[in-house]
Structure 1
Amino acid sequence: MKQLVILGAGESGVGTALLGQAKGFQVFVSDKGKIKEKYKEVLIYNKIEWEEEQHTEAKLLAADVVMKSPGIPDKVAIVKLLLNKGVPVISEIEFANQFTNATIVAITGSNGKTTTAMLTHHLLKQELDVGLAGNIGDSFAKQVLEHNYNNYVLEVSSFQLDGCFKFKPKIAIITNIVPDHLDRYDYEFENYIASKFRITQNQTKEDVLIYDADDEVIANYINNNAIQATVLPFSITKKIENGAYLDKDKIIITIDNNQIIMPTKNIALEGKHNIKNAMAASTVSHLLKIRKQTIRESLENFQGVEHRLENVLKINKVQYINDSKATNVNATYFALDSVSAPTVWIVGGVDKGNDYKELYPFINEKVKAIICLGVDNQKLIENFGNMVDVIVETQFMSEAVKIAYKIAEAGDNVLLSPACASFDLFENYEDRGRQFKEAVRSL
Structure 2
Amino acid sequence: MRLVVLGGGESGTGAALLAKQQGIDVFVSDAGIIQTGYKQLLYTHQIPFEEGGHTIEKIASADEVIKSPGIPHEATIIRKLHSMPIIDEIAFAARYAKGKIIAVTGSNGKSTTVHLIYHLLHAAGLHVALAGNIGYSFAKCITQSAYDHYVLELSSFQLEAIQDFKPDIACLLNITPDHLDRYHGSVEAYAQTKLNILRNMTPLDHFIYHTSDPLTTQYLPKAQLLPQLHPISPLSNGRFYLNGQRYALSISQQQIGLLGRHNQYNAMTAVTAAALAGVPTSIIATALPKFRGLPHRLEWCGAPQGINCYNDSKSTNVASTIAALVSFSQPIIWIAGGIDKGNNYCPLLPIVQKRVKAIICLGKENSAMIKAFHPLGLPIQETHNLSSAIDKALSIALPREVILLSPACASFDLFKNFEDRGNQFKELIVKMCMKH
TM superposition score category, shorter chain reference: over 0.9
CA contact (8 A) 2:248 2:281 kept: no
CA contact (8 A) 1:367 1:388 kept: no
Q: Rate the CA distance shift 1:308–1:258 in 2: closer, same or farther, 3 A.
A: closer
Is 1:268–2:219 an aligned residue pair? no
CA contact (8 A) 2:260 2:324 kept: no
* Partner SS state of residue 176, structure 2: coil
After superposing the two structures, state which structure 1 stretch, 389-398 or 269-278, moved more. Answer: 389-398
Q: Distance in 2 between matches of 1:17 and 1:208?
A: 31
**Matches for 1:251-400 after TM superposition, within 5 Å:** 251-256=240-245, 259-400=248-389
Q: Distance in 2 between matches of 1:223 and 1:21?
A: 38
Q: Which residue of 2 aligns with 1:110?
A: 107
Deviations 1:278-302 (A, max 9, x none): 1111111221221111101111000
- Correspondence for 1:423 among 394, 409, 412: 412
After superposing the two structures, state which structure 1 stretch, 350-359 or 181-190, moved more. Answer: 350-359
Shift of 1:88: 1.8
Shift of 1:258: 5.2
Shift of 1:325: 0.5
CA contact (8 A) 2:309 2:429 kept: yes
Deviations 1:67-88 (A, max 9, x none): 22211211111111112xx212
* Partner SS state of residue 247, structure 1: coil
Shift of 1:96: 0.4
CA contact (8 A) 2:18 2:140 kept: yes
Q: Which residue of 2 aligns with 1:95?
A: 92
Q: AA paired with 1:407?
A: I
Q: Distance in 2 between matches of 1:418 and 1:165?
A: 35
Shift of 1:438: 2.0
After superposing the two structures, state which structure 1 stretch, 152-161 or 47-56, moved more. Answer: 47-56
How many residues are treated as equivalent by the alignment? 431
TM-score with structure 2 setting the length: 0.95
Q: Rate the CA distance shift 1:290–1:257 in 2: closer, same or farther, 3 A.
A: closer
Q: AA paired with 1:13?
A: G
Is 1:69–2:58 an aligned residue pair? no
Q: AA paired with 2:376?
A: M
Deviations 1:401-420 (A, max 9, x none): 22223332222211110111
Shift of 1:424: 2.2
Q: Distance in 2 between matches of 1:437 and 1:258?
A: 40
Deviations 1:203-229 (A, max 9, x none): 011111100011121122236244211
**Matches for 1:35-50 after TM superposition, within 5 Å:** 35-50=34-49
Deviations 1:377-405 (A, max 9, x none): 12101101232442122222222222223
CA contact (8 A) 1:368 1:388 kept: no
Q: AA paired with 1:25?
A: I
Q: Distance in 1 between matches of 2:254 and 2:54?
A: 55
Q: Which residue of 2 aligns with 1:24?
A: 23
- Correspondence for 1:441 among 390, 415, 430: 430
Q: Rate the CA distance shift 1:42–1:258 in 2: closer, same or farther, 3 A.
A: closer
Q: Which residue of 2 aligns with 1:241?
A: none
* Partner SS state of residue 224, structure 1: coil
Q: Which residue of 2 aligns with 1:172?
A: 170
Q: AA paired with 2:311?
A: N
Q: Distance in 2 between matches of 1:388 and 1:148?
A: 58
Q: Distance in 1 between matches of 2:193 and 2:95?
A: 21
Shift of 1:260: 2.0
Shift of 1:348: 1.2
Q: Which residue of 1 aligns with 2:200?
A: 202
Is 1:183–2:172 an aligned residue pair? no
TM-score with structure 1 setting the length: 0.94
Q: Which residue of 2 aligns with 1:7?
A: 6
Q: Which residue of 1 aligns with 2:209?
A: 211
Q: AA paired with 2:155?
A: S
**Matches for 1:143-154 after TM superposition, within 5 Å:** 143-154=141-152
Deviations 1:235-264 (A, max 9, x none): 00xxxxxxxxx3312210122495322223
Q: What percent identity do the matched residue pairs reach? A: 45
Shift of 1:49: 1.4
**Matches for 1:129-140 after TM superposition, within 5 Å:** 129-140=127-138
* Partner SS state of residue 220, structure 2: helix
CA contact (8 A) 1:15 1:139 kept: yes
Q: Rate the CA distance shift 1:223–1:165 in 2: closer, same or farther, 3 A.
A: closer
After superposing the two structures, state which structure 1 stretch, 190-199 or 343-352, moved more. Answer: 343-352
Q: Which residue of 1 aligns with 2:121?
A: 124
